[in-house]
């Protein structure tokens, strides 16, 4: 089966007053219908990865290299009409803040219909029907009335539902979600997560879900890729990564989630802060914060171990625990 998305050796570097090596040798494969969570902290490059996939980065200020194939097509070569149909047609995106991503001067119905008309060439009337259908699918109560609402007339959760309806209206094969629940309240967040899970099953699309919250990643995804300093340090099924984390960074993140930490006990905090990425990492980026680091970790990039199919850990010492088992 052709992968839906195949990223090979992607490098993204921002030029400017300061050079930032945002993505360093990132490779990732997503099969059709798969849900992958890109888990990482601020500055780990997870959002930049999404923007690169949609070719949203300013080309003048960015050095890109590597290969990105969507369903076999090299997206780096797309331009003009092909690029427009790729963006919003084959691949669409849900943003963190629907208040900013929705256009305040058009009604919800107009915005969805507009997108459908542009990508599917439907008449306005048919496009409105699609919009109504989409609002029903994202479980917006009294959808007919809501079609005529402006974004500011809706609550935060409703706006995010509209955003999802808009993103799914053209039946994309890949949905990119950039922290879509981070700004929401807990009781609303879980509703949106469950909705996305349901819609993913219903539409059979691939999903890349960017988040900094392990709990959210567990709820939404079948696979998790953990990012640190612009690289994927660990990847596997959600079960593998959560139950059996191999990379010390993943282990630290899980501990920091406080899910079952004894009250008042001292936390095993990862010391320090992520590197600034002004130079391209030539050794393990996590070594300065790593409790298990060896001198060798500071001298060369860590080997990528593959303990199982589609499972990988970029850590010199991950092998020891494997051998011990």
Q: Find the shortest distance in angstroms from Cβ 186 to another protein.
A: 4
Return the ∠ at Cα 150 (arms to 148 and 155), rounded to 5°. 110
Smaller CB distance to another protein: residue 117 or 188?
Answer: 188
The number of beta carbons lying within 10 Å of the beta carbon of residue 270 is 19
Q: Find the shortest distance in angstroms from Cβ 55 to another protein.
A: 25
Q: Please give the Cα distance from 197 to 179 (Å, whole number).
A: 15
DSSP code of 87? B
Q: Using CB under 8 A, which of the segments 85-93, 105-113, 171-179, 272-280 binds another protein?
A: 272-280
Q: State yes or no: residue 324 binds another protein (CB under 8 A).
A: no
Query: How many DSSP H helices and E strands does the chain contain?
Result: 12, 12
And the tokens for 310? 């589609």
**Residue list 23-82, contact with another protein (CB under 8 A):** 41-42
Q: State yes or no: residue 84 binds another protein (CB under 8 A).
A: no
Can you say how many angstroms the Cα of residue 186 is from the centroid of all Cα atoms in its chain? 20
**Residue list 124-183, contact with another protein (CB under 8 A):** 141, 155-158
Residues binding another protein: what is the number (CB under 8 A)?
Answer: 60
Q: Using CB under 8 A, which of the segments 98-106, 201-209, 254-262, 304-312 binds another protein?
A: 254-262
Q: State yes or no: residue 281 binds another protein (CB under 8 A).
A: yes
Q: Please give the Cα distance from 242 to 246 (Å, whole number).
A: 10
And the tokens for 153? 């007339």
Q: State yes or no: residue 291 binds another protein (CB under 8 A).
A: no
Member of 275, 297, 302, 312 binding another protein (CB under 8 A): 275
Element (H, E) at 175: strand 174-178
The number of beta carbons lying within 10 Å of the beta carbon of residue 20 is 19
Q: Find the shortest distance in angstroms from Cβ 281 to another protein.
A: 7
**Location of structure tokens 């539902």:** 161
Smaller CB distance to another protein: residue 75 or 162?
Answer: 162
Member of 77, 79, 142, 187 binding another protein (CB under 8 A): 187
Angle at which helices 124-137 and 156-168 pack, to 10 degrees? 130
Residue 285: which residues within 8 A CB-CB, separation 6 or more?
228, 229, 230, 231, 274, 275
Member of 19, 191, 251, 321 binding another protein (CB under 8 A): 191
Q: Using CB under 8 A, which of the segments 72-80, 109-117, 125-133, 237-245 binds another protein?
A: 237-245
**Interface residues with another protein (CB under 8 A)?**
17, 41-42, 141, 155-158, 185-191, 193-194, 212-216, 218-219, 237-239, 242-243, 252-253, 255-259, 261, 263-264, 266-279, 281-283, 285, 288-289, 298
């Amino acid at each position: 089966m052709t992968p839906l998305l195949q990223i090979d050796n992607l490098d993204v570097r921002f030029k400017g007053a300061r050079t930032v090596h945002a993505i360093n040798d990132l490779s990732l494969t997503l099969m059709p219908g798969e849900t992958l969570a890109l888990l990482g902290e601020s500055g780990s490059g997870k959002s930049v990865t999404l923007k690169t996939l949609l070719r949203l980065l300013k080309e003048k200020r960015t050095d890109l290299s590597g290969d990105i194939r969507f369903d076999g097509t090299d997206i780096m070569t797309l331009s003009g009409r092909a690029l427009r149909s790729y963006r919003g047609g084959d691949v669409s995106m849900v943003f963190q803040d629907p208040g900013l991503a929705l256009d305040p001067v058009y009604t919800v119905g107009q915005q969805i219909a507009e997108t459908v008309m542009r990508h599917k060439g439907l008449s306005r009337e048919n496009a409105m029907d699609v919009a109504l259908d989409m609002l029903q699918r994202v479980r917006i109560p009294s959808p007919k009335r809501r079609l005529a609402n402006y974004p500011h007339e809706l609550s935060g959760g409703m706006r995010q539902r509209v955003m999802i309806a808009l993103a799914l209206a053209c039946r994309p094969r890949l949905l990119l979600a950039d922290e879509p629940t981070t700004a929401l309240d807990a009781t609303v967040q879980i509703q949106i997560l469950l909705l996305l899970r349901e819609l993913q099953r219903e539409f059979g699309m691939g999903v890349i879900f960017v988040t900094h919250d392990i709990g959210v990643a567990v709820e939404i995804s079948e696979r998790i890729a953990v990012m640190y300093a612009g690289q994927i340090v660990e990847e596997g099924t959600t079960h593998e990564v959560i139950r059996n984390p191999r990379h010390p960074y993943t282990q630290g993140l899980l501990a920091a989630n406080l899910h079952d930490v004894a009250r008042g006990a001292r936390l095993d905090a990862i010391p320090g802060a992520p590197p600034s990425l002004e130079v391209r990492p030539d050794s393990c980026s996590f070594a300065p914060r790593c409790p298990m680091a060896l001198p060798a970790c500071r001298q060369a990039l860590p080997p990528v171990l593959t303990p199982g199919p589609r499972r990988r850990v970029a850590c010199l010492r991950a092998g020891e625990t494997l051998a011990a088992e």
